[in-house]
Amino acid sequence: MINPYQVALTLVTVGLVWFVRRRSRAKPRLPLPPGPPGLPLIGNLKDMPTNMEWEKYHEWCKEYNTDILHLRVATTSFIVVDTAEIANDLLEKRSSLYSGRARLPMVNELMGWTFNFGFMDYGNYWRKHRRIFHHSFHPTAARQFHPHISRATKKMLNRFLEDPSDMMEILRHLAAETVLKIAYGIEIQAKNDPYVRVAEAAVHTLLAAAVPGAYLVDAIPLLKYIPAWVPGAGFRTEAKEWRVLANKMVEDPYRAVKAAIANGTAIASFVSVSLQKMEEGTDEAYQEDVIKSTAGTMYTAGADTTVSAISSCLLALTKHPEIMRKAQKELDSVVQAGNLPSFDDEPSLPYITAIVKETLRWRDVVPLAIPHMLSVDDEYRGYHLPAGSIIIPNAWAMLHDEKVYPEPFRFNPDRFMKDGKLDFKTQRDPNHACFGFGRRICPARYMAFSAVWLAIASILYVFELEKVKDEDGNDIEPLEEYFSKLVILVKPFQYTIKPRSKEKADLIKKSVLASEGFN
Residues making up the binding site for heme = 442
Question: Cα(231)–Cα(130) distance, rounded to whole angstroms?
Answer: 41
| Residue 11, Cβ density class (10 Å: 0-12 exposed, 13-18 middle, ≥19 buried) | middle
Q: What is the DSSP letter of 485?
A: S
Q: 363 near 488, Cβ under 8 Å?
A: yes
Residues 6+ apart with CB under 8 A from 419: none
| Residue 4, Cβ density class (10 Å: 0-12 exposed, 13-18 middle, ≥19 buried) | middle
Q: 224 near 109, Cβ under 8 Å?
A: yes
Question: Cα(305)–Cα(172) distance, rounded to whole angstroms?
Answer: 10
Q: 453 near 352, Cβ under 8 Å?
A: yes
Question: Cα(217)–Cα(251) distance, rounded to whole angstroms?
Answer: 27
Residue in 181, 127, 122 with CA at minimum distance from that of residue 150: 181
For residues 390-404, one letter each, b for 16 or more C-beta atoms within 10 angstroms of the residue's C-beta and e for the rest, the string is bbbbbbbbbbbbeeb
Residues 6+ apart with CB under 8 A from 64: 34, 35, 36
Distance from CA of residue 447 to its chain's centroid? 13
One-letter amino acid for residue 406 of the chain: P
Q: 104 near 239, Cβ under 8 Å?
A: no
Going through 51-148 in order, the beta strands assigned E by DSSP cover 68-73, 76-81
Which sign, positive or negative, has the C-alpha torsion 352, 355, 359, 361? Answer: positive
Which sign, positive or negative, has the C-alpha torsion 141, 144, 146, 152? Answer: negative
* Helix or strand (DSSP H, E) at 347: none
Residues 6+ apart with CB under 8 A from 42: 73, 74
Question: Cα(415)–Cα(424) distance, rounded to whole angstroms?
Answer: 9
Of the CA atoms within 13 Å of residue 518, those in its CB half-sphere come to: 18
